[in-house]
Amino acid sequence: MSLLELKNVTRRFGDFTAVDNVSLNIEAGEFFTLLGPSGCGKTTILRMIAGFDLPDAGQILLDGKDLADTPPEQRPVRTVFQSYALFPHMTVAQNISFPLKMARIPGKEAAKMLHETLELVHLADKADAYPHELSGGQKQRVALARGLVNRPRVLLLDEPLGALDAKLREEMQVDLINLQKEVGVTFVFVTHAQVEALALSHRIAVMRDGRVEQVDEPSRLYGSPQTRFVADFIGHINMLEAQVLEPAHGQFRLGVSGLGEIMTQPLHGVAVGSKGTFAIRPEQVRIGVHGEIQELKNHFPGTVRHFLYRGDVTVYKVSLANGAVIEALLPNSAPGRAELFRVGDAVNVGWRHDAGVFLHE
Amino acid sequence: MSSFARKLFSHARLAKWAVSGPPFVFLLLFFVLPGAIMVIASFRYPGEFGGLAPLTAADPGTLQGFTLETYRFFFSDFIYTEIFIKSFLVALATTLLCLIMAYPLALLIARSPKKSRDFMVLLVILPFASSFLIRVYAWMILLGPQAALSQIVNGLLGALGIAPVQLLFSPFAVLISMVYVHLPFMVLPLYTNLEKHDPSLLDAAQDCGANAWRRFWQVTFPLSLPGVFSGSTLVFIPVLGMFAIPDILGGTGDMLVGNLIKEQFLGTRDWPFGSTLSIMLTIAVLLFVWIAAKLGSTRGRYV
């Protein structure tokens, strides 16, 4: 039995269906992420787990027990709010102790728990500070500490890194992973930042318009997206309209109009003739003038249209014979690599036969 | 500094004076100057037919010059201190009653949908549309012996075998009218404060296990203390100096400091003693404000 189960949960606001028949199983000790663009229903799911909102249909089960009749203050579930929602009139120690006070945990035990939690988030020296005296990262850690102090079954995190700057955000990601490992509490994390989701999660549920598109481990989600939306939302991807052709010489083939054939990995359960999208990540696309590219199973001539120098990598946009533009990513791993090709250069792009995925319509 | 910068600087100074000058002059003429006159008056003798005795007179037998007589007189009879204490108690009771009534109302308005809030605030300040005196006289009618309220109360008392009471010209009439008149001054600062509260704090408190009662006492109330203090100040101080309400609705025994001061100037025509009483009242108010500010600032560290 999963720790937390959502069974066919639906939530409507007037005519708008925010959450549409969502079923999820979240395991004990898991770092589970709900990922999707704003308005996809991820925060509504979080609020329903916390108890601030109730499903119109379906059930939310914790340890197999329906939570419908349990008010938020009695659920063994804590939330880290996007705005942190620290009590401005209480010190760091008072903020973190608040759940202990509400649970009427005796003084000595509460003091011990407070002390341990302060150590856990490295805030022992800030115990007597007020929230307005803290930096964004410190506030964030207080909010986490308040959520974890009496070890809830589930910690819900609503875009907790959203308000931090990029550098701090990366630091906090590492901290979050370590923290979750250390306390072993199940984390349900909500974000629209796919990089964050990939870096932190054990499993990710990608959501769109109130529905779950795909639930998978980060590497599988990135490497084998099952829908166009998932492929497009997570990272960058090139898409080519394609049709499944008869396999030849033991090779699975896709036809792309105006371009030719693409050799691809085995296609299962897809009928010959069916249409869809061939999707391939920019870092899987190789770019060159001739030579090594020609040795790849798939290679096409093209013209460099743009290049974007990003420091660590250079992104080339190459237009192909059929007008499609393919992005190729070249790591700037050696001096001079950044200016390998110029706009207007005739180049070849290519990829291995096992790179990319076919997304059936 | 370049000459251009100097010019700019002097222009900025000129603009500053143009803006702050008129109110400064106004306060100087109508607050500082009268205040100074009052302080001086309190150290002089009363004139024979009101006003002040001359500073110098040809006849050495007449009262003249400066004296501490009025202050000695104030402390010589405990009745004046007693009136001060009574006024403080009435002001305190009014403030507390206003607070108890205004808080739920302010909370209700602050948590109403944005659209209806403005309308509700309008209702709170609507009584200001009619004159203060008219509203006080209205209470005279409402509390009069022929009015329904008196009839009902005395009917009930009569049924219980208790002698009828008079509602009008009583401390009760003074208090009810004081509360009525000053209620908006408590509601508005409270509402302004409560309206700014971040609702996610209540969610957070509930999430941490606080029920509605504890959410109020642990989060809403402590955060509203600045509003409580400013509302209390706005009620307490005017009530302390109020003379019209006790004059109109109070009995002979319901004299407050305000009435006493008014009496010195218009009745007994003892200007120096009236000035002394005014100064004592000012000192008392300043003391109160200072204490309130002290209390407010220790609670308001987080703001």
Alpha-carbon gap: A12 to the closest alpha carbon of chain B (Å): 21
Fold of A4-231: Rossmann fold (3.40.50)
B233 close to B196: Cβ distance less than 8 angstroms: no
pTM of the model: 0.82
Are residues A79 and B301, on separate chains, in Cβ contact within 8 Å? no
Average pLDDT over residues A324-346: 86
Answer whether A50 touches B (CB < 8 Å). yes
Is a pLDDT exceeding 90 seen at residue A57? yes
Task: Write out residues 64-83 of A within 8 Å (CB-CB) of B.
Answer: 71-74, 77-79, 81, 83
User: Domain locations in chain A?
Assistant: 4-231, 236-360
Query: What residues of A are in contact with residue B298 (Cβ under 8 Å)?
Result: none
* One-letter amino acid for residue B81 of the chain: T
Residue A358 tokens read as 């076919």
The neighbouring-strand residues paired with A346 are: A303
pLDDT in tens, A171-188: 889 999 999 999 999 999
Tell me how far apart the alpha carbons of residues B212 and A73 are, in angstroms, rounded to a whole number: 10
Any domain includes B4? no
Are residues B206 and A73, on separate chains, in Cβ contact within 8 Å? yes
**Which one of A72, A83, A89 has the shortest CB-CB distance to B207?**
A72
Any domain includes B123? yes
Residue B205 pLDDT: 97
A42 close to A207: Cβ distance less than 8 angstroms: yes
10-residue stretch averages of pLDDT, chain B, 303 residues long = 67 84 93 93 85 76 80 90 92 96 96 93 92 91 88 89 86 93 96 95 96 96 92 92 89 85 89 93 88 69 52
Is a pLDDT exceeding 80 seen at residue A355? yes
Total of domains in chain B: 1
Any domain includes B117? yes
pLDDT in tens, A34-52: 999 998 999 999 999 999 9
Tell me how far apart the alpha carbons of residues A273 and A245 are, in angstroms, rounded to a whole number: 6
Sign, CA dihedral A247-A251-A256-A257, equals negative
Q: What is the CATH number of the domain that holds B188?
A: 1.10.3720.10
pLDDT in tens, A69-108: 999 999 999 999 999 999 999 999 999 999 999 999 999 9
Query: What residues of B are in contact with residue A83 (Cβ under 8 Å)?
Result: 198, 200
B178 close to B87: Cβ distance less than 8 angstroms: no
Average pLDDT over residues A294-315: 89
A65 close to A5: Cβ distance less than 8 angstroms: no
pLDDT in tens, B187-200: 999 999 999 999 99
A8 close to A22: Cβ distance less than 8 angstroms: yes
Q: Above pLDDT 70, what percent of chain A?
A: 99
Tell me how far apart the alpha carbons of residues A158 and A178 are, in angstroms, rounded to a whole number: 18
Answer whether A52 touches B (CB < 8 Å). yes
Query: What residues of B are in contact with residue A73 (Cβ under 8 Å)?
Result: 206-211
Any domain includes B223? yes
Any domain includes B115? yes
A75 close to A67: Cβ distance less than 8 angstroms: yes
Any domain includes B161? yes
Architecture of the domain whose range is A236-360 = Beta Barrel (2.40)
pLDDT in tens, A271-282: 888 899 999 999
Any domain includes B271? yes
ipTM (interface pTM)? 0.84
A328 close to A282: Cβ distance less than 8 angstroms: yes
Any domain includes B26? no
